[in-house]
Amino acid sequence: MNVTIDGKSCDLGLHPEVTFPEIMSVIGRLDPSPGIGITRVLLDGADITGADWSHLSAVPAATIQALEVETGSVSKLANELIDSLEDFAGRLVTELGSTAESFRQGEQEKAIGQYTRALDGIQLLNHTTDMVIRNLDFDAEQVTFGGKPSTNHFQKLSPLLDDMFSAQKRDDVVLLADLIEYELIPQFEDHQKILKLWREAYATRR
């Protein structure tokens, strides 16, 4: 395994059976400077920064050819991500609206393709938002939305997705379209508003 950190080759001296999360943990401890952490990761040439790494939990070093890591200010990265996440959330809302419309018009094959892309987008948005929450240099819970901590909003998504998967399993496309249009789209419209509030809160601190 060839490991490169900030453009420099690095021999970590790890056993070939050490797993990917353990490798990243070792790399994360190399620079103990406050506020400095891993900001970009390329695994065998693929940029996996901000992606869901759960499927890599058992991947051993022996199967990894190249691991490229960049480090820097994680709070700076988190704040920069807010702008791109706002835009991403807006595009996700548009995709969900098109998906619901396709289901209602009986365009099943098109709708399923859109639905699959939307679910991938939801996973990426949630994972990256979690990373932002962990690394913002202010307490996101102190930013309120609807009179409650803004982070409470994200707890609503899991049961909603459960309802959607249940409707999909029963092939109830009418209910699925309703859940997307009247529940999921407002969820991510609010998600976008919360990201804007975070950006404004951070701006007042500078």
| Tens digit of each residue's pLDDT (9 = 90 or more) over 119-176 | 999 988 888 888 777 766 567 788 899 999 998 999 999 999 999 999 999 999 999 9
**The pLDDT of residue 176:** 96
What does the pLDDT read at residue 132?
76
For the whole model, what pTM was predicted? 0.67
Residue 167 makes CB contacts below 8 A (sequence gap 6+) with 173, 175, 176, 179
d(CA 99, CA 64): 37
Query: Are 111 and 96 contacting, i.e. CB atoms less than 8 angstroms apart?
Result: no
117, amino acid identity: R
Give pLDDT, residue 136: 64
Burial class from Cβ neighbours inside 10 Å (0-12, 13-18, 19+) for residue 47 reads exposed
**Nearest-10 Cα torsion for 87, 136, 124, 179:** -70
3-state secondary structure of 160: helix
pLDDT recorded at residue 5: 94
pLDDT at 203 exceeding the cut of 80: no
Could you report how far apart the first and last alpha carbons of the chain are, in Å? 41
Instruction: In whole angstroms, give the CA distance from residue 201 to residue 139.
Output: 10
Residue 115 CA, distance from chain mean position: 17
- Which tokens belong to 204? 């007042």
pLDDT score, position 206: 52
Q: Is the pLDDT assigned to residue 189 strictly greater than 90? A: yes
Q: Which structure tokens are listed for 200?
A: 């404004």
Give the separation between CA 133 and CA 151, rounded to whole angstroms.
Answer: 8
Per-residue model confidence (pLDDT) at position 51: 67
List, for residues 15-67, the tens digit of each pLDDT value.
999 999 999 999 988 887 776 778 789 999 998 876 668 789 999 999 999 99
Model pLDDT for residues 61-93, shown as the tens digit of each residue = 999 999 999 988 766 666 677 888 888 999 999
